């Protein structure tokens, strides 16, 4: 019994941090799509061969499908830089391998990380 608990502890904790399942579902943005649909709120959106400019919803959504404040994590898998644009002159540039969290507010969008 002690060895089972030890293995569970080693499996759960690694490098002093708790390993959990991924917080957000991951969706792949279809090729040639140049906007983030509002129903992607709460998800991590990965894109490869993304367009030069990727637009957030014109009207910032209030809530995602789980009833939580609308937010999304965008991850650029490459090969070039993609500019994320939204309402109220919000822009973020993502180079290959970078990700950013974005939250919708009453005034537009804000960067989370």
What would the pLDDT profile of 41-66 be if each residue is shown by its tens digit?
A: 999 999 999 999 999 999 999 999 88
Separation of alpha carbons 45 and 9, rounded Å: 31
Separation of alpha carbons 31 and 47, rounded Å: 8
Predicted pLDDT at 13 = 42
Predicted pLDDT at 87 = 85
Domain boundaries, the chain: 21-111
Please determine, for residue 12, whether its predicted confidence score (pLDDT) is greater than 60. no
pTM: 0.77
What would the pLDDT profile of 82-91 be if each residue is shown by its tens digit?
A: 999 998 799 9
Separation of alpha carbons 41 and 64, rounded Å: 5
Top-tier CATH class for 21-111: mainly beta
6: Cα separation from own chain's centroid: 34
Separation of alpha carbons 55 and 38, rounded Å: 11
Separation of alpha carbons 61 and 15, rounded Å: 37
**pLDDT average, residue stretch 100-106:** 95
Predicted pLDDT at 113 = 64
């Amino acid at each position: 019994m002690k060895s089972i608990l030890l293995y569970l502890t080693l499996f759960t904790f690694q490098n002093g941090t708790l390993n959990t399942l991924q917080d957000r579902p991951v969706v792949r943005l279809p090729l040639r799509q140049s906007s983030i649909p509002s129903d992607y709120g709460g998800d991590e959106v990965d894109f490869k061969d993304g367009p030069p400019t990727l637009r957030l919803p014109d009207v910032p959504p209030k809530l995602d499908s789980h009833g939580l404040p609308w937010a999304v994590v965008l991850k650029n898998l490459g090969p070039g830089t993609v500019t994320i644009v939204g309402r109220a002159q919000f822009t973020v540039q993502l180079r290959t391998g970078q990700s950013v969290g974005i939250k919708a507010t009453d005034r537009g969008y804000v960067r989370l990380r």
